[in-house]
Structure 1
């Protein structure tokens, strides 16, 4: 039995509780939050509640800590948990700067604990099907790709909690809303070499951008476009990932990227393509992504292997976000190797 503790009992904690409950071999033993009202939601039925992470780490019987607090707190809490010998699942983004991510990875490695970052959309049936086609080489040479997040987060959303929309704790539309889509983009297309970008705060009264557009050049030579916004009226419109190659075109989209919209490949007949689209459409959500992550961490500990989504994966997409932010701030093209090795920390 692998025992889990959760720090941060806000909205996202519910998904972790449900995932742990649904996972064979996993058991929730402790939760932590400074707000006693939020804490009381989960500190019952044998789950002990704490208002201090240090106390939970010292007293509770816990193997894994799930960090579900605002983004700007992830570094310190990860380091604290790792130094206590706990494995860690940290919500996205793993940190707000590459320097912080590097420190988290270093401490976890030195302490011999596993670090996994929450990017659950990789487990969506449509994305698993898309990844399978990429690995098979069904696209041939890629020409370009588009990652699009056209969502609504109104002013009430940002006013719900003081950390939302702040530079120190939220990080902006790429960091907080679009980062899952960007993780998928990198998973499919590989590393980015260079970016340029524009950002703006057009409609929301927040410190960070509410819309950003970026142009990418991948190391493969393929090009890419990122469009991310929380300014859509009156509700979420689209999240999509589109890949274009010499022998394949695929678009996964919908209000959330769960449905195959286009599926055309040189090695598939129209009937074969339609069959795959229909199979995914029968169960577009699949098993909850958080449950897949808890199952993976539980198995990784038991088998002594690395989790499927590691700290390195979280750092990779964070580097892309930091590069886009720096490009928009400076008006210059930013090479990711300069960002990660040249002392620029976002």
Structure 2
């Protein structure tokens, strides 16, 4: 392999361009090709100084890639990743890994059989905030986790939907588009979800999907979580507006996650650890300690990690199987909201 890991991107839209910027900021990686049939994609590739192929297959066959990033529409993820696996090319697949957990699991099994690494772009796990929170939990500073709460509320303007009408269609509501990020971090922090019970309300703007939903998550550990999402609610309580991760969003000093255990509670991303003086006791004084955390771009961190996986020096932090299990929970929330009943989440794969 050359001094730089040769990477390609399929789909040079908003997310694809962010990946291109992240690759440019990573010393061990170099963007050498793009696959995008659109005129905008060609123009963006020209601006980046890389060759633009009209199809992923042509890029995989001609560009001599060490790895490929799939930033194409979700419906293409599984087929495109299968094409990469067939050529022995490691793939970083944008979230969600696919539109169906069953189809995505077939992809994961094919990649495992071929020995080709798959990563899923749940980039929040690469944020130093998430790493610090995970460390606090793993060290047992909260005791036994018993309750989890996640809030994902914001107001998307009409222009957001008008510029991309597919966002008004079934399956493109905030459960699948936004909540998938929060579900993935809840799994990362608190373990597997074994059942969900959810409800959702139709879009007030008349779109063919929901604009608010909430779910109760039952964790394998016995902990219970509540999670809610709305793209029609003015609020400072979302990862986008509390983490400072992406500068296009205004930053607030609030938190959007709360995790409570038998010894303490943690709010994220402000990283305040709450404990009682002495033994846990609601009649005893309680105080917060603000924990130290680093700051770096999670997308750049994710590219660095992808390079290390391609080189065989690290195992995927968010493997294909991890992506499937997060998608299972999101599917369960959607089904439960439709049926208004509890839905069990089967455990797929090993580990």
The alignment's TM-score, normalised by the length of structure 2, stands at: 0.85
Give the length in aligned residue pairs: 324
Shift of 1:114: 0.9
Q: Output the aligned Cα RMSD.
A: 2.4
Partner of 1:172: 173
Q: 1:37 aligns with which of 32, 36, 40?
A: 40
Shift of 1:135: 0.4
- CA–CA separation in structure 2 for the residues paired with 1:236 and 1:35: 36
Structure 1: tracts of 5 or more residues without a match: 253-257, 342-346
- CA–CA separation in structure 2 for the residues paired with 1:4 and 1:236: 37
- Judged with a 3 Å threshold, the aligned counterparts in structure 2 of structure 1 residues 331 and 298 are, in CA distance, closer, same or farther, namely same
- Judged with a 3 Å threshold, the aligned counterparts in structure 2 of structure 1 residues 173 and 275 are, in CA distance, closer, same or farther, namely closer
DSSP 3-state at the match of 1:90: strand
Does 1:321 pair with 2:345?
A: no
Partner of 2:149: 146
- Judged with a 3 Å threshold, the aligned counterparts in structure 2 of structure 1 residues 45 and 196 are, in CA distance, closer, same or farther, namely closer
Shift of 1:187: 0.8
Shift of 1:205: 3.7
Q: How does 1:187-336 map to 2 (within 5 A)?
A: 187-233=188-234, 237-239=237-239, 240-252=256-268, 258-260=269-271, 262-265=272-275, 274=289, 276=291, 279-280=292-293, 286-336=295-345
- CA–CA separation in structure 2 for the residues paired with 1:243 and 1:70: 33
- CA–CA separation in structure 1 for the residues paired with 2:237 and 2:261: 26
Partner of 2:163: 160
Does 1:65 pair with 2:68?
A: yes
Partner of 1:47: 50
Partner of 1:255: none
Partner of 1:81: 84
DSSP 3-state at the match of 1:317: helix
- CA–CA separation in structure 2 for the residues paired with 1:158 and 1:290: 25
Partner of 2:13: 10
Shift of 1:266: 5.6
- Judged with a 3 Å threshold, the aligned counterparts in structure 2 of structure 1 residues 236 and 164 are, in CA distance, closer, same or farther, namely farther
Select between 314-323 and 38-47 the one with higher mean Cα deviation: 38-47
Shift of 1:45: 5.5
The alignment's TM-score, normalised by the length of structure 1, stands at: 0.87
1:143-186 per-position Cα deviation (integer Å, ceiling 9, x unaligned): 2101110012233212212432433xx54312211211111111
1:113-152 per-position Cα deviation (integer Å, ceiling 9, x unaligned): 1100011112223222211111011111222101110012
DSSP 3-state at the match of 2:329: helix
Shift of 1:238: 3.0
- CA–CA separation in structure 2 for the residues paired with 1:189 and 1:155: 35
- CA–CA separation in structure 2 for the residues paired with 1:45 and 1:329: 44
Structure 2: tracts of 5 or more residues without a match: 240-255, 279-284
Partner of 1:344: none
Moved over 6 A (4+): none
DSSP 3-state at the match of 1:195: strand
On the 8 A contact 2:23/2:29 being kept in 1, the answer is yes
DSSP 3-state at the match of 1:42: helix
On the 8 A contact 2:203/2:209 being kept in 1, the answer is no
On the 8 A contact 1:7/1:67 being kept in 2, the answer is yes
